[in-house]
Chains A and B, each alone.
Chain A
Amino acid sequence: MTAASGSDTVSVVERTRPIAAGGVIVGAHFLSRTAAFVLGEDAIVLAPPDGEPRRIAAHDGAILATAADGARIVSGGDDGKLVATDANCETRVVASDPKHRWIDHVALGPDGAVAWSAGKTAYVQAQESNSQSNKQSNREPRALEAPSSVGGLAFFPKGFRLAIAHYNGATLWFPNAAGAAPEKLEWKGSHLGATVSPDGRFLVTTMQEPMLHGWRLVDRQHMRMSGYAARVMSLSWSVGGHWLATAGASQLVLWPFQTKDGPMGKTARLLTPSGHRIDVVACHPRTDVVAAGYDNGLVLLVRIEDGAEILAKKPGEAPVTALAWSSDGRLLAWGTESGEAGIINLG
């Protein structure tokens, strides 16, 4: 039993607007105040604050990965397409894999850059711009072959630089530095996801083993972050990048990144112990609060400082698969594996 099932827990469940998404939900984002629920196949459902949800056909098949920057969602599918969807319900094919390979990782970077991968090939494309001064060549995607299938992609917060996770390490790539060899970071094992800290000092990857691996980039010091019950499928940086919140355990695991040493030699903060596993995490964009989605359908809002909990969704039949905050932190969208979805208005 979790502490949240006690009757004295504060609840915001009654502020939920249920959304009929009509399919398995695999991701959620916000485009301004419009919630977007990514379905397992074919479509993204956009729910504007004052209007009926609309189903946007984005792919013909499975939607394998999405990323959003507030203005658009880019999605990769098993149809070999990379599609951009905006809040006006317009979709546009950004790229098509010539061999119809699965596009199974995507990332959005600063200044509208987009990255995606198919098999071992990672691609980046700088912002598409109407500006006449923007050279045509800058809009052509650049490609880099990774040593194995790409496991994850993450842009650095500044500059046009991409981190690519793969088997036995990660590659750091400046696509505009023509002729410069990409930098290799080595660590044995299969790296399946990547995130760069908001200050650009750390790269953290999720591994096939139930653990994270981190590099302090200035001196390539390694950080091993272990103790999980399952492969970590969800990571989120708290406001200011002070904490890295992680799923994959029956407690909310937060790694401290307040200092230049990051979590080296420190233990993680563990909050909300329960008998169920956290599958998804999403940090509030303005305050030190984490939304945690459990494999029994529960969603809790957890204050990092003291572990205080607010109930956001009661346990249900299916695991929580998606959580997203609006950029002002007033709206929280959640979705589950069985297609239940809701938007909580925290006012």
Chain B
Amino acid sequence: MAEQSSPEKIPVTVLTGYLGAGKTTLLNRILSEPHGKKYAVIVNEFGEIGIDNDLVVGADEEVFEMNNGCICCTVRGDLVRILDGLMRRKGKFDAIIVETTGLADPAPVAQTFFIDENIGRKTKLDAVVTVADAKWLNERLKDAPEAKNQIAFADVILINKTDLVSPDELSDVEARIRGINPYAKLHKTQRAEVPLDAVLGRNAFDLDRILDLEPDFLGGDDHDHHHDHDHDHGHNHEHDHAHAHVHGGLKHYHDEEMQSIALHTDKPLDPDKFFPWVQDLVQKEGPNILRCKGILAFKDDDQRFVFQGVHMILDGDHQRPWKADEKRDSRIVFIGRNLPGKMITEGFESCIAK
């Protein structure tokens, strides 16, 4: 609801990316642009960033499990402590940037904002921005699960160092990223040169802004195709390598491990079936579901319902009345590892109101 997106909440941007991809370059760029804003920056290593006006805090990346028996329910304990402290200086900065180490999993950072109500009252997660190295990402996707997590989790991805690869290699790495996460906003950069509004002020976790459940194909600049067909990527492959097919000019990779599943129906859902189903799904598959988002149309309900989730944590609300000329259909996206696509699709279809 409107009052929940309080303008006083301080936005927090999370910068991730594998070692050497260019996170610090991006951070320095953000801090040195003449934007007139002050940032509190939470970093793991001091010394590489040049800062005049901004507050810099060192973090320890302590990932703490919650005492609820769920191994994927984690928070960044150091972040809880640091944000509590920073909130005492509210007014001294406009936004917070959290730079994670190259090996970090973004999920505990994001979950901190959902799990800790005291932090959620005063700050809001703006977006997870992942910097990927155009030359080395493909290698890292093979040998570093962290790199794949960071791509899968991202709201915004910078394919950086594009000057070090050929157009073919660039198109290949882009297709690899799309095979894992078709929904993130993609930017191709050199030295992390990107307009600041592409990485800051994204409101990617704002329930009111869950608009874009359509895959992002670089603004549809070089081709134009629709994904109205069912997106069931959960089929079982007997071989364990990625495969590609050419589709509308852009190569498509289906990552064997990490996929997205898009569900769609134009028939109204039964809330008494849907909520138990989705709760049960995230209870069972939570460790494998990195993120999910949805816009839902329920039977006999004139309000649009929106939700999002990170692993087992779901957050949802009625958003606004459906507009008269708006198509009342429901869309859900899951991004995760080895998701049982057929089971999820069938489960979703069983939630359609009779």
Contact = CB atoms under 8 A, between A and B. Distances in A.
A40 B64 contact: no
Contacts of A210: 117
A288 B294 CA distance: 51
Nearest to A99: B58
A230 B118 contact: yes
A26 B86 CA distance: 12
A63 B60 CA distance: 20
B64 A190 contact: yes
Nearest to A62: B88
- Tier of interface size on chain A: 20 to 34
B67 A188 contact: yes
A187 B78 CA distance: 19
A206 to B, nearest CB: 11
A64 interface: yes
Contacts of A61: 89
Interface string A46-83: 00000000000000011110000000000000100000
Nearest to B75: A208
A119 B60 CA distance: 9
11 contacts: A63-B88, A64-B85, A148-B64, A148-B77, A149-B60, A167-B77, A190-B67, A190-B75, A210-B117, A231-B116, A231-B117
A207 B85 contact: no
Interface string B9-51: 0000000000000000000000000000000000000000000
Nearest to B118: A231
B80 A208 contact: yes
Interface of A: 24, 26, 40-41, 61-64, 78, 101-102, 104, 119, 148-149, 167, 187-190, 192, 207-210, 229-231, 233
Contact of B62 (A62, A102, A148, A192): A148
B68 interface: yes
Contact of A102 (B67, B85, B115, B117): B85
A207 B80 CA distance: 12
Given A190-B66, A208-B80, 12 more contacts: A40-B87, A102-B85, A148-B77, A149-B60, A149-B78, A187-B67, A188-B65, A190-B77, A208-B77, A209-B67, A230-B117, A233-B118
Interface of B: 57-58, 60, 62, 64-68, 75, 77-78, 80-82, 85-90, 92, 115-118
Contacts of B86: 62
A149 B81 contact: yes
Please provide the 4 A-B residue pairs with the shortest distance between their CB atoms, ordered closest to farther: A189-B67, A40-B88, A190-B64, A62-B88
A188 B74 CA distance: 12
A119 to B, nearest CB: 7
B318 to A, nearest CB: 20
Contacts of B58: 101
Given A63-B88, A230-B117, A189 B66 contact: yes
A305 B121 CA distance: 33
A233 B81 CA distance: 12
Tell me which of B75, B81, B116, B117 has the highest count of chain A C-beta atoms within 10 A of its own C-beta: B81
B71 to A, nearest CB: 11
B88 A24 contact: yes
Contacts of B88: 24, 26, 40-41, 62-64
Nearest to A41: B89
B118 A189 contact: no
A24 B68 CA distance: 35
A40 B62 contact: no
Given A24-B90, A208-B75, A229-B117, A104 B85 contact: yes
A153 to B, nearest CB: 14
Nearest to A228: B117
B127 to A, nearest CB: 24
B85 A208 contact: no
Given A41-B92, A209-B68, A149 B77 contact: yes
Contacts of A149: 60, 62, 77-78, 81
Contacts of B57: 78, 102
B62 A167 contact: yes
